[in-house]
């Protein structure tokens, strides 16, 4: 799929050559490229500004029949994301032109060339499984042209970049899948099938064993659905490792709100509520493919939150796996319930060095940070800072949120150990994070609320509308830096 070439660009046998262009600096010293850019810049409509595009057909000096110039703006301001975006756009144009392949001029620093590869692979994904008419086919080959002295280094980077992009696309497809095709049993099977091909141990825990393990909060949330809850555990255990990491992902395959039924547009895209589980499952599969050097355990509570005669009710008191009792103030705050049990189970069974949960947990987090930032909640400022830094690198951006102890009062219950929703609606994302913290014991922990960035109703340069796969690139980068 992704190849590196050093052959003469002028002779490149392709229908589509893409050249990133800086507004105020030369990214490449290659004479063929310099000449082509000079030609492009002679048109007043193209100056190499961010977002500028110019297509030339059959230009002199190259055998490619189309050359697309894509502006990345001023050198000072250009960052890897500028190149990811440029590459994604170029791939879209190539697909529109009914091409099967594209060649990129891989110019600029290492991080820029890696970003071109990533943007191209991610931009080559379409979610069209449910369409009868699939005229627009993704490209079958993406080639990046680099200077001969850098060939080896870039070739070595290809498998990792391919793996992480495949993982992201896998997560996107799961999130975009309709909720009737990913009810807990189906989603569990789909995860088991995907993970089965890799060096992973998978346990699909059914309702009987969920009961045996006293995961009553998970059972309570699942009670209203005709499809029983599941818990999938994926264990990646390399021969040699010294750290054990647990990743817990919220897997609500559809969140109707339960008896506190969501209304209006609130319910519309709630198939996305398993995006945490999708990101974690895809991260484990990717970690195995990349042979990451830590033991990683993925714990995925899967459930459908539905109203019915058997659904859990506001007012119910549930005894969680930890023994703590929770008064249900709102059945729509179901994510923290299933995570409470899954986190407790993860700590009890695996005693990890660090535990991270990923969840589309609160509308409040989306309200606070919009749809491009995830909220990171941790008592460990260093862990939060590392995640924020991985977010900057991958452009899966995170913002560290506060965990004020005195907000815990919001969760006080008169008749149980804790309520599942704060008494005030303010600070809802913090209240949810503090709720989770009650089940973590003394393990090093971070919670990532991805309610904002998990799903997008608009496409961007390298992601179609629907699931974004947010979390996979972030977690893989963080794991790689441990």
Q: How many helices (H) and strands (E) does the chain have?
A: 13, 20
> How many residues lie near ligand BES (CB under 6 A)?
15
366 catalytic per annotation: no
262 catalytic per annotation: yes
Using rule CB under 6 A, residue 334 touches ligand BES: yes
Instruction: State the Cα–Cα distance between residues 115 and 97, nearest whole angstrom.
Output: 23
Which of 91/411 has CB closer to ligand BES?
411
Q: Which residue is nearest to ligand BES (CB)?
A: 363
Which residue in 418, 453, 449 sits closest to 433, CA to CA?
A: 449
Q: How many other C-beta atoms can be found within 10 angstroms of the C-beta atom of residue 458?
A: 8
Using rule CB under 6 A, residue 335 touches ligand BES: yes
Using rule CB under 6 A, residue 451 touches ligand BES: yes
- Beta pairing partners, 317: 327
Using rule CB under 5 A, residue 255 touches Zn ion: yes
Catalytic residue among 75, 126, 150, 262, which? Answer: 262
Which residues in the 220-259 window bind ligand BES by CB under 6 A? 255
Nearest distance, CB of residue 363 and Zn ion, angstroms: 9
Stretch of 250-258, 342-350, 408-416, 417-425 lying at the interface with Zn ion (CB under 5 A): 250-258
Using rule CB under 5 A, residue 335 touches Zn ion: yes
Contacts of 103 (CB under 8 A, 6+ apart): 5, 9, 12, 14, 16, 17, 18, 64, 143, 144, 145
Which of 19/359 has CB closer to ligand BES?
359
Distances (CA, A) of 137 to 96, 167, 200, 465: 9, 20, 32, 17
DSSP assignments along 435-472, one per residue: HHHTTSTTSEEEEEE-TTTTEESS-BTTB-SEE--TTH
- Decide: helix, strand or coil at residue 400: strand
Using rule CB under 6 A, residue 306 touches ligand BES: no
Site string for Zn ion, 126-145 (x = CB under 5 A): --------------------
User: Binding partner of residue 394 among Zn ion, ligand BES, none, CB under 5 to 8 Å per kind?
Assistant: none
User: Binding partner of residue 363 among Zn ion, ligand BES, none, CB under 5 to 8 Å per kind?
Assistant: ligand BES
Contact pick of 81, 332, 341, 396 for Zn ion (by CB under 5 A): 332
Using rule CB under 5 A, residue 273 touches Zn ion: yes
- Beta pairing partners, 53: 70
DSSP assignments along 271-285, one per residue: GGGGHHHHHHHHHHH
Using rule CB under 5 A, residue 449 touches Zn ion: no
Contact pick of 97, 330, 413, 444 for ligand BES (by CB under 6 A): 330
Site string for ligand BES, 260-279 (x = CB under 6 A): -------------x------
Which residue in 364, 369, 373, 367 sits closest to 392, CA to CA?
A: 373
Q: How many other C-beta atoms can be found within 10 angstroms of the C-beta atom of residue 352?
A: 23
User: Binding partner of residue 65 among Zn ion, ligand BES, none, CB under 5 to 8 Å per kind?
Assistant: none
Q: Is 188 exposed, middle or buried (0-12, 13-18, 19+ CB in 10 A)?
A: buried
Nearest distance, CB of residue 359 and ligand BES, angstroms: 8
Contact pick of 229, 391, 428, 467 for ligand BES (by CB under 6 A): 428
Contacts of 111 (CB under 8 A, 6+ apart): 80
Which residue in 29, 3, 22 sits closest to 14, CA to CA?
A: 3
Which positions lie near ligand BES, rule CB under 6 A?
A: 255, 273, 330, 332-335, 360, 362-364, 366, 421, 428, 451
**Catalytic residue positions, numbered:** 262, 336
Which positions lie near Zn ion, rule CB under 5 A?
A: 252, 255, 273, 332, 334-335
């Amino acid at each position: 799929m992704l190849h590196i070439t050093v052959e003469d660009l002028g002779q490149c046998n392709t229908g589509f050559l893409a050249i990133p262009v800086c507004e105020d600096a030369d990214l490449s010293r290659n004479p063929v490229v310099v000449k082509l850019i000079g030609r492009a810049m002679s048109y007043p409509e193209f100056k190499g500004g961010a977002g500028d595009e110019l297509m030339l057909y059959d230009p002199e000096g190259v055998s490619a029949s189309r050359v697309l110039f894509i502006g990345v703006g001023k050198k000072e301001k250009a960052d890897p994301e500028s190149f990811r975006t440029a590459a994604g756009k170029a791939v879209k144009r190539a697909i529109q032109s009914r091409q099967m392949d594209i060649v990129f001029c891989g110019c600029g620093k290492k991080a820029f060339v890696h970003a071109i590869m990533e943007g191209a692979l991610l931009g080559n994904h379409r979610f069209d499984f449910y369409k009868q008419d699939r005229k627009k086919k993704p490209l079958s080959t993406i080639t990046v042209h680099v200077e001969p002295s850098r060939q080896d280094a870039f070739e070595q980077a290809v498998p990792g970049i391919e793996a992480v992009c495949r993982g992201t696309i896998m997560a996107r497809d799961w999130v975009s899948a309709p909720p009737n095709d990913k009810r807990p049993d189906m989603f569990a099977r789909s995860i088991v099938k995907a993970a089965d091909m890799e060096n992973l141990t998978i346990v699909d825990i059914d309702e009987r064993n969920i009961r045996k393990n006293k995961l009553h909060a998970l059972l309570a949330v699942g009670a209203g659905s005709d499809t029983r809850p599941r818990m999938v555990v994926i264990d990646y255990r390399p021969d040699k490792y010294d750290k054990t990491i647990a990743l817990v992902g919220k897997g609500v395959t559809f969140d109707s709100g339960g008896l506190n039924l969501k209304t209006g547009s609130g319910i519309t895209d709630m198939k996305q509520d398993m995006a945490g589980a999708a990101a974690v499952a895809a991260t484990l599969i990717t970690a195995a493919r990349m042979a990451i050097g830590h033991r990683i355990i993925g714990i995925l509570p899967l459930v459908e939150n539905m109203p019915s005669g058997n659904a859990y009710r506001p007012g119910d008191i549930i005894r969680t796996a930890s023994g703590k009792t929770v008064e249900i103030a709102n059945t729509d705050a179901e994510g923290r319930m299933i995570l409470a049990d899954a986190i407790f189970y993860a700590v009890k069974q695996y005693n990890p060095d660090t535990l991270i949960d990923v969840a589309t947990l609160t509308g409040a987090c989306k309200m606070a940070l919009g749809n491009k930032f995830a909220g990171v909640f941790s008592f460990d400022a260093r862990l939060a800072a590392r995640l924020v830094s991985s977010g900057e690198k991958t452009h899966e951006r995170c913002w560290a949120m506060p965990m004020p102890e005195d907000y815990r009062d919001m969760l006080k219950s008169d008749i149980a150990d804790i309520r599942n929703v704060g008494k005030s609606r303010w600070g809802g994302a913090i209240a949810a994070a503090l709720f989770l913290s009650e089940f973590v014991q003394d393990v090093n922990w971070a919670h990532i609320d991805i309610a904002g960035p998990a799903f997008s109703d608009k496409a961007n340069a390298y992601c179609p509308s629907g699931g974004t796969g947010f979390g996979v690139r972030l977690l893989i980068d963080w794991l790689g830096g441990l």
